[in-house]
């Protein structure tokens, strides 16, 4: 049916649901990509595609789907600040991995943020715009502007949280945590994420986003998945099936890109593999980059001993 472009859209939704139930996120993305190629103006499917692409760490596909959803939502019942802000934040995520060639995306980010600020005149929306703009400026080296916006966000966040309480919304809290991570304030970010996970224990979509931003799984589903993945990976290492262990931990990092335990286990798998097959420059550099991404772990961390051992081995 997929090959024939049969325009029965409910069938695509069913196939995506089946793939999701199997835990086949790549399959879900493939089905949704085909669905939106047949019916590109479906805001719901474009948003589903954007979310699953982010879960798969396919940031290019996520950025494109968020943009299409934003455009399709204009002047419809689906239009709202989240459509614009989700796209702007996806542009920022691409800027974070793109490196110095960020000028075009920075301009696009600022264009969208300026539009949403004018279109939705609300203090909460304005603060969320400033969060995204601070991140964009920091990623492009505009540190003075980024710091000025961050200071404004800090003030506005404390004020609005005091006035609105839980009504400040999970999106704002998640974006604030991500901004703190971007600014190197991991401990504060983790406190925000822990509180957010505790307040929304049954929201699976939000739970996945929290787990992606966190250095350890915080949702119940994420905790169970991490235990399962680590158990499978350790079994593969004991069997000396190093290639399979590397593949498993690599795929796991697509789901939980900031997870400390998974990063260390991936480095461990690579190191043990090189001890048998011989060291190669590409794998060694990759492992060092992964360890560098963790910064300096405190001695109180449960991972400190393994971190130090791996550092010394490389």
Q: Would you kindly state where each structural domain of the chain is located, as residue ranges?
A: 1-72, 80-214, 221-313
Assess contact for 249 and 262: CB atoms under 8 A: yes
pLDDT at 13: 86
In CATH terms, the fold of domain 80-214 is 1.25.40
Residues 6+ apart with CB under 8 A from 202: none
Single pTM value for the model: 0.82
Give CA angle at 155 (121, 88), nearest 5°: 50
Q: Mean pLDDT by 10-residue block, N- to C-terminus, for the chain (314 residues)? A: 59 88 89 91 94 90 96 92 94 82 84 93 94 94 94 95 86 94 88 94 91 89 86 91 93 84 92 91 92 85 91 90
Region class of 27: left (phi > 0), else alpha (psi between -120 and 50), else beta: alpha
Q: What pLDDT sits at residue 60? A: 94
- Please give the pLDDT value at position 5: 52
Can you give the pLDDT at residue 89?
94
Q: What is the pLDDT of residue 285?
A: 92
Q: What is the pLDDT of residue 4?
A: 52
CATH of domain 1-72: 1.25.40.10
**Whole-angstrom distance, CA of residue 27 vs CA of residue 34:** 11
pLDDT computed for residue 7 by the predictor: 54
What pLDDT is stored for residue 182 in this prediction? 87
Residue 10: the pLDDT is: 83
Task: Determine the pLDDT at residue 91.
Answer: 93
40 in Cβ contact with 68 (< 8 Å)? yes
Q: DSSP string spanning 100-144?
A: T--HHHHHHHHHHHHHHHHHS--HHHHHHHHHHHHHHHHHTT-HH
CATH 1.25.40 assigned to domain 221-313? The reply is yes
Give the Cα separation of 136 and 140 in Å (integer): 6
Q: Is 5 left (phi over 0), alpha (psi -120 to 50) or beta?
A: left
Fold identical between 80-214 and 221-313? Answer: yes
């Amino acid at each position: 049916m997929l090959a024939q472009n049969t325009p029965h859209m409910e069938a695509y939704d069913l196939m995506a649901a089946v793939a999701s139930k199997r835990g086949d996120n790549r399959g879900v993305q493939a089905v949704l990509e085909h669905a939106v190629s047949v019916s590109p103006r479906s805001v719901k499917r474009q948003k589903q595609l954007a979310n699953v692409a982010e879960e798969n760490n396919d940031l290019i596909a996520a950025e494109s789907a968020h943009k299409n959803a934003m455009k399709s939502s204009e002047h419809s019942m689906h239009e709202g600040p989240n459509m614009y802000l989700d796209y702007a934040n996806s542009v920022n995520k691409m800027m974070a991995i793109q490196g110095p060639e960020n000028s075009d995306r920075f301009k696009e980010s600022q264009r969208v943020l300026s539009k949403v600020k004018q279109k939705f005149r609300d203090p909460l929306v304005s603060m969320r715009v400033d969060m995204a703009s601070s991140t964009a400026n920091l990623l492009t080296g505009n540190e003075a502007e980024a710091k000025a916006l961050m200071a404004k966000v800090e003030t506005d966040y404390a004020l609005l949280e005091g006035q609105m309480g839980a009504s400040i919304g999970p999106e704002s809290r998640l974006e604030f945590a991500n901004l703190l991570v971007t600014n190197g304030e991991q401990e504060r970010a983790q406190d925000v994420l822990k509180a957010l996970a505790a307040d929304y224990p049954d929201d699976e979509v939000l739970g996945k986003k929290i787990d992606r931003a966190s250095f350890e799984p915080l949702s119940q589903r994420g905790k169970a998945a991490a235990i399962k993945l680590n158990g499978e990976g350790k079994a593969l290492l004991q069997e000396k099936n190093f290639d399979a262990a590397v593949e498993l931990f690599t795929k796991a990092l697509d789901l939980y890109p900031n997870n400390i335990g998974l990063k260390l286990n991936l480095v461990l798998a690579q190191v043990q593999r090189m001890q048998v097959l011989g060291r190669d420059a590409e794998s060694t550099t990759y492992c060092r980059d992964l360890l560098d991404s963790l910064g300096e772990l405190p001695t109180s961390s449960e991972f400190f001993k393994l971190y130090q051992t791996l550092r010394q081995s490389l």
